């Protein structure tokens, strides 16, 4: 038997019981400041590490190392046809682009891998990650072994998603050769 319950947004965080079923209401994460950037790699990482969400202005941005996103951080582009993150070759295992933590969101950009065997994402234990309106170009989505990955309205060009080993939802995503 399944039931849907709408919990009001003003409920105090804590442990509750409803109809004999225990549940927990968690506090929402604090809002993070949004910073707009038109520079790449190290500046993006520094902004995320400083507790900011990042909006990348239109352009192409090089990543010379893995971008590690702190929990609940957000990385937004100005549209997947306007903003590109390009992974440069540095010898890292599978040239990973982004390693998100729990609750991260990436949206509205293109992720262009340097090599056909590169990973755009690496799950690394993260849950509840949202990837929205992202174009994956070349390589693989990456390894993902946890529940809670949502890909919505994404485009995979010459990019595979075969290393997803847990509950993942791909909603309105398309796979094309792009060749």
Tell me the HSE value of 114 on the side-chain side, using a 13 A CA sphere.
Answer: 18
pLDDT at 4: 63
Nearest to 68 by CA among 133, 126, 118, 110: 126
Cβ proximity of 48 and 32 under 8 Å: no
pLDDT at 179: 46
- Give the confidence band of 91 by pLDDT, cuts at 50, 70, 90: low
Report percent pLDDT > 90 for the chain: 37
Could you tell me the pTM of the whole model?
0.80
Cβ proximity of 97 and 119 under 8 Å: yes
Residue 93: pLDDT over 70: no
Residue 16: pLDDT over 70: yes
Parallel/antiparallel/unpaired status of strands 21-25 and 14-18? antiparallel
Burial grade of 43 (CB within 10 A; 0-12, 13-18, 19 or more): middle
Cβ proximity of 140 and 159 under 8 Å: yes
Residue 126: pLDDT over 70: yes
pLDDT at 56: 96
pLDDT at 84: 94
Element (H, E) at 35: strand 34-37
């Amino acid at each position: 038997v399944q039931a849907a319950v709408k919990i009001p947004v003003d409920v105090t965080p804590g442990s509750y019981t409803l109809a004999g079923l225990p549940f927990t209401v968690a506090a929402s994460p604090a809002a993070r400041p949004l910073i707009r950037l038109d520079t790449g790699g190290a500046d993006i990482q520094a902004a995320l590490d400083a507790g900011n969400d990042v909006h990348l202005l239109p352009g192409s941005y090089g990543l010379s190392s893995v971008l590690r996103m702190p929990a609940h951080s957000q990385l937004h582009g100005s549209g997947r046809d306007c903003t590109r993150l390009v992974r440069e070759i540095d010898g890292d295992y599978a040239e990973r682009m982004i390693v998100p933590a729990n609750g991260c969101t990436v949206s509205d950009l293109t992720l262009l891998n340097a090599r056909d065997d590169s990973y755009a994402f690496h799950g690394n234990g993260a849950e509840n990650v949202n990837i929205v309106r992202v174009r994956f170009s070349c390589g693989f989505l990456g390894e993902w072994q946890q529940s809670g990955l949502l890909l919505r309205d994404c485009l995979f060009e010459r990019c595979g998603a075969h290393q997803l080993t847990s509950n993942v939802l791909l909603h309105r995503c398309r796979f094309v050769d792009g060749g």
